[in-house]
Structure 1
């Protein structure tokens, strides 16, 4: 009887462990392109595992990548597939090349994504896009995406903190320590919280893209708040 109970317990533990592994979201790296594509290179993570969670995460990644390929005025259509937006980007260039045959500089787009941080509570992904459509220089833009690991739902920055005011005060302290020359800022007297906030092994990264708070020459500005400073401020239980 003892052996039967013992082996039954072991079997149950293994089953539960296996189920937990099956529900864990894993990521692979994929290259997205089309048959007629000559201008766009895309390498992004793809969520796999629980169908609903993976689908939700992949949908959000697709929206950000699709928006990154948008050319011209008006809001981007993020409901279309990445492949459709790749084709549209190539078509836009072909039209431009016909209208301005003297322009020999080809357009290009490079989009790369990576999983910055993953725990049982949260998943953070960064998407870096570089677009050059014939201007003086290309434009780099980085987007951080935070997801609830249990649902796949994208988390808005405001939902990450128990007190937005307390977090802003902490962020301002680290921002001021990281900026040696405040004269590079558009408005050095007023602190502006970064729109891009993402988790890493070291803590919370706050990132300002080019032109957000400083001119192009300043480049991308970022700083990190150490993980140990965040425990009492986060709405997420045990992200680290």
Structure 2
């Protein structure tokens, strides 16, 4: 009797294992641009599935793009969808040209994104925005958005790391190595983790945007900590 059941049990086990390995979320690049000019270009990943997980992920990505295109008061209510924000950006540019007809300044907004890490537990997406509305230089910003793969919920940094103080000790070693030889005007003894931490195939990425801890001339500071070293301090470590 047991012999007859064995193939069935094995089959059920394989099906269960297969279902566990199957990843429910896939992504495709989605493009947005201005209708009458090319001053705004957006290329971002959106989750394909029509479920709550995908909707949560896409909503967070959409909010990032809309906030990046916001002109003026950053406390204003976010206006969706992305196409409306692009229209508003163009209206602001047209108003600028009307107010300063002799200005040769051209506005520009470029936003790009990519999925840099994906497992059954966590999805990391990198979003880069470059916004130029005048001044000496444009504003470049890179953000990592980390999501729980099972829910689509956005994960804040405090929920990524356990034993933060011990992790900071390791991170500071890699930080010091990455800035060696650079003229940084800050006290390295008051080291803090950056606003952006993300997963990649190489390990955990820590990134400080321009002005976050150093002057504009220093640029972006970025370094990686191999998973082998970071793993004891990570809440999500299925890699």
TM-score between both structures, scaled by the size of structure 1: 0.89
Structure 2: segments with no counterpart, 5+ residues: none
Distance change (3 Å), C-alpha of 1:92 and 1:113: same
Give matches, 1:1-240, under 5 Å: 6=7, 10=11, 13=14, 17=18, 21=22, 24-33=24-33, 35-36=35-36, 38-49=38-49, 51-78=51-78, 80-181=80-181, 183-236=183-236, 238-240=237-239
Q: In the TM superposition, what is the alpha-carbon distance from 1:15 to its structure 2 partner? A: 8.3
> What's the TM-score once normalised by structure 2's chain length?
0.89
Any stretches of 5+ residues in structure 1 without a counterpart? none
Q: 3-state DSSP class of the match of 2:192?
A: coil
Does 196-205 or 180-189 show the bigger shift?
A: 180-189
**CA shift in 2, pair 1:6/1:212, >3 Å:** same
Contact kept in structure 1, 2:34 and 2:86, CA below 8 Å: yes
Aligned to 2:154, the other structure's residue is in SS state coil
Distance apart, 1:230 and its partner CA: 1.6
Cα deviation for residue 168 of structure 1 reads: 1.4
Q: 1:91 to 1:190 in 2, by over 3 A?
A: same
Q: Deviations over 1:157-197 (max 9, x none)?
A: 00111211111111112111211135323444421211110
Contact 2:210 2:219 in 1 (8 A): yes
CA-based RMSD of the aligned residues comes to 2.4
CA distance in 2, matches of 1:144, 1:41: 20
Paired residues in the alignment total 238
